[in-house]
Chain A
Amino acid sequence: MTAMKKIEENLKKEAKRLLEGGEVSVVLAYGRGYDENHPVPFAARKAEDADSLVFNEYCTFNLARYLPKYPPKTKIAVAVKAADSRAVVQLIQEEKVRREDLVILGIPVTGMKDQKTGEVIDNKTTCNMANPVIHDILLGDEVHGFQGGSPYDVLAELEAMSEDARWDFWKKEFEKCIRCFACRKACPMCYCDPCFMDASRPRWADKSPTTDGHLMYHLTRFYHLAGRCIDCGECSRACPVDIPLYLFHKKLAKECEAMFNQAAGMKIEDKPAMVNYGNQDSDEMLK
């Protein structure tokens, strides 16, 4: 049995057990979509629902996104891959979900594929870690010796460009934006209601898709995600016009890790970097 098939078997088994025993009231995992290469996020609520669960290389969704929707004290089991588990840790740090309400079903896996292109997803667009950073139950064998490469290698080209060349690059990318807000809604960290873009006082950006509005929206969102983005790549996969948002998020993740000595979503005891200050902070970061 392939590793992915084994994970699917274990997922169904654990989900059934947890639901039958009443340990959780919902299992957040994946179900079959209109075909095998297009699964959907699926919330199993009854033991029979567990039979509809699937897991394959196209199950890329970050299910942590759905966690803040549930009222506190709802017992939830959530299936998470590496980056997804970091999102769960970050949400716990930010007190949007309680550790004791969760049964974390960790999925150690490599070789996930992009649904649109069929290509393997790697460190160019995600954090590319193989093993979840937190789990209660592991649905597969831990992956050993996986060399995914640094998630920041892909930044080399942009970092080497001149200011003007970088501006031309981003200007061209942002112009494509259609303000559908799929990026915002797909992101597990964008749980603010209302979002700053929904406010009319102050009006940060007009509703119509103006270039300056795109800039205000995207740059502010990058700022709001600084130190919080766990590099799952969902925003970029959700984008209907293929803007490489992951590049900017990765850049800020890299800078925040260097400046504040802390990576997003790694330990639940961490305090989120942007609501904290450190004794080792220096004015060097302002240069």
Chain B
Amino acid sequence: MLKKIALEKFGHLVSAIMEKGPLYAPVKGGKAVDFQEIRNPADVTLDFYNTAMSPKFVFFPQSEDMIRYSLGKEATEAEPVSLNAKPSVILGVRPCDAKSFEIMDRHFLGAGVIDPYWNDKREKTTVIGYAFDPSTAADPADFYNTLGISASDTAGSDIFMIRTDKQLLFKGITEKGDRLLKDLAVLEQGSKTEEKMFDDMAKKSSELKTRFMEIKDDAIARKFVQVFDNKEFWEKATAACISCGACTFVCPTCYCFDISDETLFRDGVRKRFWDACMFTDFTLEASGHNPRPRIFQRYRQKVCHKYSYHVDKYGCISCVGCGRCTRSCPVNIDIYSIIESASKL
């Protein structure tokens, strides 16, 4: 199914989607553009390269309540938070981020235990992907081509959106996507002309080149095991790292979380929230011993997890080359360069 709408009518489309349920879309705030739940249709922008934070928070919020409790004199009352996500839409997801949802599904759904919090939101959300603009060069930090993703890749999207000078074209990719497209009366049916336009634009976008090196999942996984003990390499590669954790929080495929009971006087919540393997006390044990006290150990773990252990455990590299970690790094550490150097060792 192919649908279209004139660019000037975009606000109507946003309002129409908002009538059905929560909409998450890019909003410009201060310097950067980030996904937010939309309150005012005029807030949505399609003029951006990519958001500073990834859209993973839609399915995996930074902080999520799990159990609410009240400490009593005799007993503690506790009540699990009920899962009741409303049918939602996330609009404006770049191909690398759409692909990241599929990778995250492997941890949250495909590892033997279904994470009900992820699942609840995931099944009720329709993803509208958004092709990169072929007239804008790829950011030098990006390398999604290396991970087999093109600038107009539809993998992970339920609907794929392409922008022309005057219109927005929407192609249904999955059944869920087709259903939403059918429901949005404000969209017009696309003709054969538009279908061709879509394919042409998609082809044009896919010609956008990012940094690229040839890597095969199994080969790179083995390589990192091989170079694990090369302390000199790792110390040099990570010498500038300040161990802040910004890279982990902006990454679309990082999923570590911590669980804590947070109580105020008598009432509290057991919640889960993002953790980062880059934090100094990530592996700190109750005894006081820390298996990874040094920065190079933590950084090495992060790279090896994404490019080696994850391949063995889940069958794919846990990275989509979106470049956010490099862009958000206060000291410009570039994971692509590290992988390139390691592969040549």
A38-B141 Cα distance, complex, nearest whole Å: 10
Q: Judge whether A180 and B249 touch: CB under 8 Å.
A: yes
Residue-by-residue, is B203-243 near A (CB-CB < 8 Å gives 1, otherwise 0)? 00000000000000000000000000000000000011011
For residue B328, CB closer than 8 A to chain A, the reply is yes
User: A161 to chain B: closest CB distance in Å?
Assistant: 18
Q: Whole-angstrom distance between the alpha carbons of A208 and B268 in the complex? A: 13
Q: A34-B140, A206-B262 are in contact. Are A238 and B63 (CB under 8 A)?
A: no
Pick the contact of B31 from A185, A208, A234, A242 — CB < 8 Å? A242
Instruction: Tell me whether B31 and A117 are in contact (CB under 8 A).
Output: yes
* Majority secondary structure, B binding face: loop
Q: Check B326 against A34 for contact (C-beta < 8 Å).
A: yes
B281 touches A (CB below 8 Å): yes
Q: How many whole Å from A149's CB to the nearest CB in chain B? A: 22
- Interchain CB contact under 8 A, A41 and B331: yes
State how many angstroms separate the Cβ of A207 from the closest Cβ of chain B: 6
Q: Mark A21-37, 1 if CB is under 8 A from B, else 0.
A: 00000000000011100
Which partner residue on chain B sits nearest A41 by CB separation? B240
Pair A185/B141 contact, Cβ less than 8 Å: no
- Judge whether A61 and B260 touch: CB under 8 Å: no
**A209 with B63, Cβ < 8 A, contacts A42-B239, A182-B246, A185-B242 known:** yes
Contacts of B29 in A (CB 8 A): 176
Q: Judge whether B245 is part of the interface by a CB distance below 8 angstroms.
A: yes
Residue B116, interface by CB 8 Å: no
B288 to chain A, nearest CB (A): 11
Verify if A178 is at the interface (C-beta below 8 Å from B). Answer: yes
A38 to B328, CA, bound (A): 11
Is A208 a contact partner of B271 (Cβ separation < 8 A)? Answer: yes
- A7 located at the interface, meaning its Cβ lies under 8 Å from any Cβ of chain B in the complex: no
Q: Are A178 and B141 in contact (CB under 8 A)?
A: no
A65 within 8 A of B: yes
- Number of chain B interface residues as a range: 35 or more
B65: min CB distance to chain A, Å: 9
Count of A-B residue pairs with CB < 8 Å: 100
As a 0/1 sequence over residues 311 to 336 of chain B, the CB contacts with chain A under 8 angstroms (1 = contact) are 00000000000000011101111101
- List the B side residues contacting A209 at CB < 8 Å: 62-63, 273
Question: What chain A residues lie within 8 Å of B267 (beta carbons)?
Answer: none
A-chain residues with CB within 8 Å of residue B275 when the two chains form the complex = 207
**Residues A182 and B326 in contact, CB atoms below 8 Å apart:** no
* Complex: chain A residue closest to B245, CB-CB: A180
The answer to whether A240 touches B53, judged by C-beta atoms less than 8 angstroms apart, is yes
Contacting residues, chain B, for A194 (C-beta < 8 A)? 281
Q: Is the CB of B262 within 8 A of A210?
A: yes
Q: Is B337 an interface residue (CB 8 A)?
A: yes
B331 near A242 (CB under 8 angstroms)? no
Cβ contacts under 8 Å, B245 to chain A = 180-182, 185
Q: How far is the CB of A206 from chain B (nearest CB, A)?
A: 4
A40 at the interface (CB under 8 A from B): yes
Query: Which residues on A sit within 8 Å (CB–CB) of B276?
Result: 180
When the two chains form their complex, are residues B330 and A182 in contact, meaning their CB atoms are under 8 A apart?
A: yes
A158 at the interface (CB under 8 A from B): no
Assess whether B32 is interfacial by the CB under 8 Å rule.
yes
Output the nearest chain B residue to A36 by Cβ-Cβ distance.
B140
Contact between B262 and A178 (Cβ–Cβ < 8 Å)? no
The answer to whether A80 has its CB under 8 Å from any CB of chain B is no
Asked if A116 is an interface residue, CB under 8 A from chain B, the answer is yes
**Which residues of B sit under 8 angstroms from A206, Cβ to Cβ?**
260, 262
Tell me, in angstroms, the Cα distance from A186 to B62 when the chains sit together.
22
Checking A43, A65, A241 against B242 with a beta-carbon cut-off of 8 angstroms, the contacting residue is A65
Within 8 A of B (CB), among A173-208: 176, 178, 180-182, 184-186, 193-194, 198, 206-208
Is A135 on the interface with B (CB-CB < 8 A)? no
Specify which chain B residues have a CB less than 8 angstroms from the CB of A61 in the assembled complex.
330-331
Contact at B242–A186, with CB atoms within 8 Å? Answer: yes
Question: Are A34 and B334 in touch, CB under 8 angstroms?
Answer: yes
| Bound: A182/B332 CA distance, A | 13
Inter-chain contacts of A180 with B (CB < 8 A): 244-246, 248-249, 276
Question: Which B residues are CB-close (under 8 A) to A228?
Answer: none
Q: Roughly how many angstroms separate A97 CA and B28 CA in the complex, as a whole number?
A: 43
Residues of B within 8 A of A12 (CB): none
Q: Which of B32, B242, B250, B326 is the one whose CB lies under 8 Å from A242?
A: B32
A117, A184, A198: the one contacting B244 at CB < 8 Å is A184
A18 CA / B275 CA spacing, docked (Å):
42
A39 located at the interface, meaning its Cβ lies under 8 Å from any Cβ of chain B in the complex:
yes
Q: Give the contacting residue for A240; candidates B239, B249, B280; CB below 8 A.
A: B249
Indicate if B52 sits at the interface (CB-CB under 8 A).
yes
Residues on B with C-beta less than 8 A from A65 are 242
B43 within 8 A of A: no
CB-contacts of A45-90 with B (<8 A):
61, 65
Contact A40:B242 (CB < 8 A) given known A117-B31, A207-B273: no
Task: Provide the bound-state CA to CA distance between A185 and B34, in Å.
Answer: 24
Identify 15 new A-B residue pairs, CB closer than 8 A, beyond the known A34-B337, A182-B328: A34-B332, A41-B240, A43-B239, A117-B31, A180-B244, A180-B245, A181-B279, A186-B242, A186-B244, A198-B280, A207-B260, A209-B273, A238-B244, A238-B246, A241-B32
A-B contact pairs, 22 of them (CB 8 A): A34-B141, A34-B336, A38-B140, A40-B240, A40-B331, A41-B240, A43-B239, A65-B242, A115-B332, A178-B249, A180-B245, A182-B242, A182-B246, A185-B242, A185-B244, A185-B330, A186-B242, A194-B281, A198-B281, A207-B260, A210-B63, A242-B31
